[in-house]
Amino acid sequence: MPVRLIYCSRAARDMSLQDIQNILRTARANNDKLGICGMLSYQSRWFLQVLEGPRAEVNALFLDIAEDPRHDAVTIIAYEYVDEPLFGDWRMGYAADGGAVGHLLHEFGMERFEPLVMSPLQALRFLHELSTAQELAA
């Protein structure tokens, strides 16, 4: 059964567009082979990422990602078994600016993007609404 893992982390330094593009290039190539999909968000030096796919592959990839020196304070927010992936259309979707879903932060009572204090449901809603906004913009 597929799993969904959501984590957040702190970038080791401010990430440029080029830095993010490098991560996404590797992610999309690897994830495609592993049958993993998901969404990555980066803002205010925080990453928030969801990975969905076969349990063994998601677990192994997460351990690799957690070792990556480009970020630290890697914190799992949610880990669950799912019937169907929610992010199946995305080998690794990306959103730099949560402006499209800024209202959610307000609803969550947050003044800025602080994934460390998001509940599992809040993090999932945030990423899912971002992916929907991306689809609409595409």
* Residues in contact with ligand FAD by the rule CB under 6 A: 9, 22-23, 26-27, 30-31, 40, 47, 49, 61, 64-65, 67-71, 92
Q: By C-beta, is 29 or 107 nearer to ligand FAD?
A: 29
**83-87, long-range: CB < 8 A, 24+ apart:** 83/1, 83/2, 84/2, 85/2, 85/4, 85/37, 85/52, 85/53, 86/4, 86/52, 86/124, 86/128, 86/131, 87/37, 87/38, 87/39, 87/50, 87/52, 87/127, 87/128, 87/131
Please, what is the minimum distance in Å from the beta carbon of residue 46 to ligand FAD? 10
Q: By C-beta, is 44 or 103 nearer to ligand FAD?
A: 44
Please, what is the minimum distance in Å from the beta carbon of residue 103 to ligand FAD? 25
